[in-house]
């Protein structure tokens, strides 16, 4: 049961992260620098593909029964939490200081926070102690 739940949480996290990247490419953040990805650009699709691979390969190996992949997924999950927590602060600060409370900015912030939340749930699910059935 725990393994199945981790699989679903990983897929939900991947969807949230991809939505975050697409929302960011639609927001004013996409024009902030030379390495920012604008919606529909090859860079945006390459980033989406890269994230999909980062989620899919460890998840596939984990579902095949390679137990140490859970540790790899944990490191990636913590990295995602740290990255998106900082991104949330930057997005909120950018919106506040430049007064750009546009719909894409709000959705970018929402998807960022959703991914942080899902990853936190993933961590608690992955390392929750297994309760023994009463005898």
Residue scoring higher pLDDT (44 or 122): 122
pTM listed for this prediction? 0.84
Compute the distance between CA of residue 84 and CA of residue 86 in angstroms, rounded to an integer. 5
Q: Write down the pLDDT at residue 7.
A: 92
Question: 42-66 as b/e, with b when 16 or more CB fall inside 10 Å?
Answer: eebeebbeebeebbeebbebbeeee
The tokens describing 96, both together, are 């506040």
Residue 31 has pLDDT above 70, yes or no: no
Compute the distance between CA of residue 120 and CA of residue 6 in angstroms, rounded to an integer. 12
Q: What digits encode the pLDDT tens for the residues 68-111?
A: 898 999 999 999 999 999 989 988 888 888 766 778 888 889 99
Q: Write down the pLDDT at residue 84.
A: 93
Mean pLDDT in residue range 33-61: 83
């Amino acid at each position: 049961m725990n393994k199945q739940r981790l699989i679903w949480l990983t897929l939900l996290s991947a969807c949230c992260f991809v939505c975050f990247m697409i929302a960011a490419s639609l927001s004013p953040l996409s024009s902030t620098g030379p390495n920012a990805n604008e919606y529909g650009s090859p860079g945006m699709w390459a980033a989406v593909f890269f994230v999909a691979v980062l989620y899919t390969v460890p998840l596939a190996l984990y579902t095949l029964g390679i137990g140490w992949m859970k540790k790899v997924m944990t490191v990636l999950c913590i990295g995602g939490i740290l990255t998106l927590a900082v991104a949330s602060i930057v997005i909120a600060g950018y919106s506040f200081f430049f007064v750009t409370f546009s719909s894409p900015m709000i959705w970018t912030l929402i998807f960022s926070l959703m991914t942080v939340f899902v990853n936190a749930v993933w961590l608690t699910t992955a390392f929750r102690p297994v309760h023994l059935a009463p005898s």
